[in-house]
Structure 1
Amino acid sequence: MAQNKKQFDAQFKQDAVNYYYTSGKSLKKAAADLKIGESTLGKWVSVAKNNDGVVQHRGSGNYNSDAEKEIARLKKELRDSQDALEILKKAMGILSN
């Protein structure tokens, strides 16, 4: 059975953690109020505790840092350049015959 995963943006995650801290409610009650899973809110709170109250949000691409995102972009650029070079080599071979 496939499980549908909801995607939450960074602002929602941060607001949810802030709500939990300011409401004085239990994790279970705060999660129910926000209509999210208790374990989901628990993960966000845990991440925030380890990061000075800020929830890290990877966003699309699932990169943990800007450096990883840049590395992935450069690897793609290198692959594209290598593919273009191979095409040019093949074209030169065809044209030289």
Structure 2
Amino acid sequence: MTKNRKHFDANFKQDAVNYYYTSGKSLKKAAADLKIGESTLGKWVSAAKNNNGTVEHRGSGNYSSDAEKEIARLKKELRDSQDALEVLKKAMGILSN
């Protein structure tokens, strides 16, 4: 089962939050009008409340510093190594029987 995730750009997120505030509609109704999930719009509204009405959007793969980029790269490398180790452990278990 795969999740079909949509990616929204910063303008759409900001427009959606502005629509919610100016429409006077409930979160559920505003989300339905925009054809997005209620929880998605709720997260954007919450983020905007914490950031003076602006939705921050860095995009996927964008890091605020080189250190964050390096940390992300190292985490991915560690996950890949752990996955490879698990495969080898399973193979050893199968071969030893």
Map 1:1-97 onto structure 2 (within 5 A): 1-61=1-61, 63=63, 66-67=64-65, 70-71=66-67, 72=69
TM-score normalised by length of structure 2: 0.67
Q: Note the alpha carbon deviations across 1:36-84, whole angstroms, 9 max, x for none.
A: 0000000000000000000011212053xx22xx3327xx8xxxxxxxx
Amino acid at match of 1:21: Y
Q: Give the whole-Å Cα distance in 2 for the aligned partners of 1:29 and 1:22.
A: 13
Aligned residues with identical type, % of pairs: 77
Larger radius of gyration: 1
* Distance in 2 (alpha carbons) for counterparts of 1:17 and 1:33: 12
- TM-score of the superposition, structure 1-length normalised? 0.67
**Structural RMSD (CA):** 1.9
Number of aligned residue pairs: 71
Residue identity matched to 1:26 = S
Unaligned runs of 5+ in 1: 77-97
Instruction: Give, in whole Å, the separation in 2 of the partners of 1:12 and 1:62.
Output: 18
